[in-house]
Amino acid sequence: MLELKNIHISFNKNTDNKIDALYNVNLEFHEHQWSYIIGGNGSGKSTLLKIINKELIPDKGELKFNSYKPTDVMFIDQTTIKNLVPSMTIYENLIFALKNIGMNPNFRLFQNKNYKEIVIDKLKEFNIGLEKRINEQVKFLSGGEQQIIVASRIMLSNPRILLMDEFTSSLDQKWAPFILEKLKKFITVNNIMVIAVTHDYSQIQNIGDRLIMLKNGKVFADKKKENFDFTTQSILNLFYEYE
């Protein structure tokens, strides 16, 4: 379990423009649970992810990893290319995920048969022929193809906690459900905790287990799938309720 206890963080401290980005946030996240964080601009969604990723230190409160370690966290940025090294090939980008089989900054050669087989097998799962293009630079791939490489990175890394900031924001309606469903299957099988920020409420119904709504840095709603209808309309109603 990951716990956020009484988290406070503010920006522009000691000025007239002080902003309480998060105010008295208490949340618990569990493994095998896909939690969606929603809220308007400036509600504190991305700040929450950055605190869990240890990019920001809260002014007050405690972040407890319990059985987890900070190194168990993988963060996926909302700009696809920021999750990749643009001029490197598909193969080179993906092998960074193979830490468990020795892809650490050591002096072993990065071109090897073992890595290659794993990368090709993973890409074959998406069935769009990327396994035949592993020597292409990722900057020349389409947005959807790049996001498949990011999804493959997630699967090969197999993190225990996955933080995603608007993962599908750059994808059209063809690619977004395709990639999310693949990811959902993988996450369920591997008991991964997912905390995802989104503005696309249509994906929450099929994928999400929990919905947390933030407003002005505070938790305004925390709903589980068992006791709330995750349709776009219900989510919008929830939104209007707190306007």
Partner 1 sequence: MDYLGIIEIGIIFSLFVLGMILSFRLLGFADLTIEGSFTTGGAIFAILLSNGINPFLSILISIIGGGVAGLLTASLHCYAGINKLLSGIITLTMLYTANLRIMGRSNIYIEQTSVLNYINEPWYEFFVLLIIGVAIFILIKFFLSTNFGLYLRATGENESFVKNLKSNPKKFIIVGLIISNSLIALSGCLFAQYVGYSDIGNGNGMLVSMLTAMIIGENIVRPTTLNRQIISAIIGAISFQLLYSSALQLGLKPIDLKIMIGILLIAFLILTKYGYKGKQSKNIGANFI
Q: Shortest Cβ distance from residue 105 to partner 1 (Å)?
A: 4
Residue-by-residue DSSP string for 41-108: TTSSHHHHHHHHTTSS--SEEEEE-TT--GGGEEEE-SSGGGGS-TTSBHHHHHHTT-GGGT-SSSSS
Q: Shortest Cβ distance from residue 229 to partner 1 (Å)?
A: 35
**CA neighbours closer than 13 Å in the CB half-sphere of residue 56:** 20
1 belongs to the binding site for partner 1 (CB under 8 A): no
105 belongs to the binding site for partner 1 (CB under 8 A): yes
- Angle in degrees, 0-180, between the axes of helices 175-189 and 143-157, rounded to the nearest 10: 0
Q: Shortest Cβ distance from residue 90 to partner 1 (Å)?
A: 14
Contact between 149 and 130 under an 8 Å Cβ cutoff? The reply is: yes
Q: Which stretch binds partner 1 (CB under 8 A): 37-45, 109-117, 198-206, 222-230?
A: 109-117
Give residue 216's identity as a one-letter amino acid code. N
Pick from 1, 85, 101, 236 the residue near partner 1 by CB under 8 A.
85
Of 45-64, binders to partner 1 (CB under 8 A) are none
Nearer to partner 1, 14 or 111 (CB): 111
Residues 6 or more apart whose CB falls under 8 angstroms from that of 183 comprise 151, 154, 155
How far from each other are the two terminal CA atoms of the chain, in whole angstroms? 32
Pick from 82, 124, 185, 199 the residue near partner 1 by CB under 8 A.
82
88 belongs to the binding site for partner 1 (CB under 8 A): yes
Q: Shortest Cβ distance from residue 92 to partner 1 (Å)?
A: 6
Q: Which stretch binds partner 1 (CB under 8 A): 44-52, 104-112, 122-130, 205-213?
A: 104-112
Give residue 77's identity as a one-letter amino acid code. D
Helix (H) or strand (E) holding 116: helix 113-124
140 belongs to the binding site for partner 1 (CB under 8 A): yes
Task: Write out the residues near partner 1 by the rule CB under 8 A.
Answer: 70-71, 74-75, 77, 82-88, 92, 95-96, 99, 102-111, 137, 139-140
